[in-house]
Structure 1
Amino acid sequence: MKSVSTSGDVARPVGVAVSRPSVAGHLQAWLPKLVLAPSVVISLCFVYGFMLWTFILSLTDSRMLPNYDFVGFAQYARLMNNERWWVAATNLGVFGALFVGLCLVLGAGLAILLDQRIRREGMLRTLYLYPMALSFIVTGVVWKWLLNPGLGIQSMVRGWGFESFTFDWLVDPNMAVYTLVIAAVWQASGFVMALFLAGLRGIDDSILKAAQLDGASLPRVYWRVVMPCLRPVVFSAVMILSHIAIKSFDLVVALTGGGPGYSSDLPATFMYAHAFTRAQIGMGSASAILMLGGVLAILVPYLYSELRSRRHG
């Protein structure tokens, strides 16, 4: 078979047609992009576009309706001088620390328990994980009934004859924020358990057996050997739980309503109250931007560590 070549061209046999991309090939290459395009456009508009709009409103003197009389960072200054905002920020610190800490401890404990290959593991795993399938609205309503002094735990225990028993945290301004912790930990600890259990099942059993052969007790094995291997799981759980804590709104509304007074307010309920019920859109937008800053302060280090580990991995 003869071959023909021209200057700068690769020689090819005579009579062999050069294959060119067909219309179907072009369509197949562009089809994933066309399918994803609407989702990308909607995300850019309704997520990042509204974030930008919220930041713009936080720089204006908007009240009941948006206006664009820019006042710089005056709304942030007003926010810093607002007593209710500092109550909400303090509550977030208490709620976030206890929520994340207790979920990690309970989740890790439940995961270690199930990792012992106990009987009915599947049933227990489902039982622990089930609360995460509920919405925070349902969780808040149920715990509001349980913690109601006239209907729930206090009433039940007094009905057993313990008349001096008191558990009125729901109506105590100094303790109301801790009822949020109880309900949130009950719901999210099973999810953390699932994360830890997946991490535990990914550890090579030979490492644990070698540590036990060296004379290490089971608690020391988990503390000295297993937990250091689960640092990525711990970091991911902290990030997810912190994100939930910062954005907590529906649980507060359903359980305490931010009360008594505003003693159990969180930044999300503060933002809603000022932006939608007190006709202070500018201040509400400023509080929303600070919440976004809190989320980014958690998310950015996580993404940086992930990218760095992949680059060096």
Structure 2
Amino acid sequence: MNAVSRWFDHHMSKLALAPSLVLVTVGVYGFIAFTTVLSFTGSKMLPNLQNWVGLLQYQRLWANPRWQVAVENFAVFSALYIGLTLVAGLLLAILLDQKVRAEGALRAIYLYPMSISFIVTGVAWQWLMSPDLGLEKAFHTWGYTSLRFDWIKDERMALYCVVIAGLWQATGFVMALFLSALRGINPEIISAARIDGAGGVQIYRHVVVPALRPALLTALVVQAHLSIKSYDLVIALTRGGPGYATELPSTFMYGFTFSRNEMALGSASAVVMLCTLAAVIVPYLATELKHDRAR
């Protein structure tokens, strides 16, 4: 019994982690591998692993006009969504770091949107932006009948509605990351910079901003990940419309896999999305490992 007890004591942590490790291996990496294999087949409604077609699905994917629109929309959406959330989050963090009154209440208000799902955000902003129900209707009721806010029905402006909704939800999270990093800066370093004659702008430029690098990288990776998998926000807000004006790779993948019975083509688009995400995460992980080794 002593030997058995010692064995259990030595391996208890591994045994506790084993079920989670198996579930992650099968449920995540196993299905990633399965999706990748499907992308090289001619599968339609059901998987058909014997119908091997090589890179045909990827050729069809990049020749599809709807996919090209989705990629263009994604480039615009991700650039605005990631850039604006980083800038707005940093500005809010700097504001709250000035020991303003009611900081706790403001922090809770900014963080609240992140506690709700993208589905709820999409539905709420759909109501706000609807000309029949939202802001335009309210202003017309108040007498401002010349005001027009019908972006959600305009093919040229609908994508910016998605950006606004995403910005509203994610900015508080980025603010929390930057605020935590700001509060972690050694105040003696800032005091030394002031003694050396550095002004407020110089302190932020040469001391504070470089110290925010880990938080910046983390926020960048998280926001890039959310922009790639923003299916629920788009579906709840615009359903990909009007037309294909707000079509993104995530909505394209779902539509062709489950609505058009193009499982292999949808799998190919999912693999492209995975590679895009890996292009963001892998350099980040490599950079972090390099810094860990340097320490």
Q: Quick one: which amino acid aligns to residue 61 of structure 1?
A: G
Q: What is residue 274 of structure 2 aligned with on the other side? A: 292
Structure 1 unaligned regions, length at least 5? 1-19
Residue 107 (structure 2) aligned to one of 112, 122, 125: 125
Q: What is residue 63 of structure 2 aligned with on the other side? A: 81
Residue 16 (structure 2) aligned to one of 35, 41, 48: 35
Residue 215 (structure 2) aligned to one of 229, 233, 248: 233
Task: State the shift of 1:214 in Å.
Answer: 3.7
Cα distance in 1, alignment partners of residues 113 and 205 from structure 2: 28
Matches within 5 A, 1:110-259: 110-259=92-241
Residue 265, structure 1, aligned to residue 235, structure 2: no
Q: What is residue 59 of structure 1 aligned with on the other side? A: 40
Cα distance in 1, alignment partners of residues 53 and 102 from structure 2: 62
Q: What is residue 288 of structure 2 aligned with on the other side? A: 306
Q: What is residue 16 of structure 1 aligned with on the other side? A: none
Please identify, of 163-172 and 286-295, the stretch whose mean Cα deviation from structure 2 is larger: 163-172
Cα distance in 2, alignment partners of residues 35 and 205 from structure 1: 42
Cα distance in 2, alignment partners of residues 311 and 224 from structure 1: 25
Task: State the shift of 1:211 in Å.
Answer: 2.7
Bigger Rg, which one: 1
Task: State the shift of 1:30 in Å.
Answer: 1.5
Cα distance in 2, alignment partners of residues 104 and 154 from structure 1: 29
C-alpha deviations, 1:189-223, integer Å up to 9, x for none? 00000000010011111222233334433233223
Cα distance in 2, alignment partners of residues 285 and 46 from structure 1: 16
Percentage identity across paired residues of the two chains: 52
Please identify, of 219-228 and 71-80, the stretch whose mean Cα deviation from structure 2 is larger: 219-228
Q: Quick one: which amino acid aligns to residue 306 of structure 1?
A: E
1:304/1:117 CA distance change after superposition, 3 Å: same
Cα distance in 2, alignment partners of residues 255 and 169 from structure 1: 12
Task: State the shift of 1:21 in Å.
Answer: 6.1
TM, length-normalised to structure 1? 0.91
Q: Which has the higher contact order (CA 8 A, sep 6+)?
A: 2
Q: How many residues align?
A: 294
Bigger helix share: 2
Q: Quick one: which amino acid aligns to residue 171 of structure 2?
A: S
Alpha-carbon RMSD: 1.3
Task: State the shift of 1:297 in Å.
Answer: 0.4
Cα distance in 2, alignment partners of residues 70 and 179 from structure 1: 41
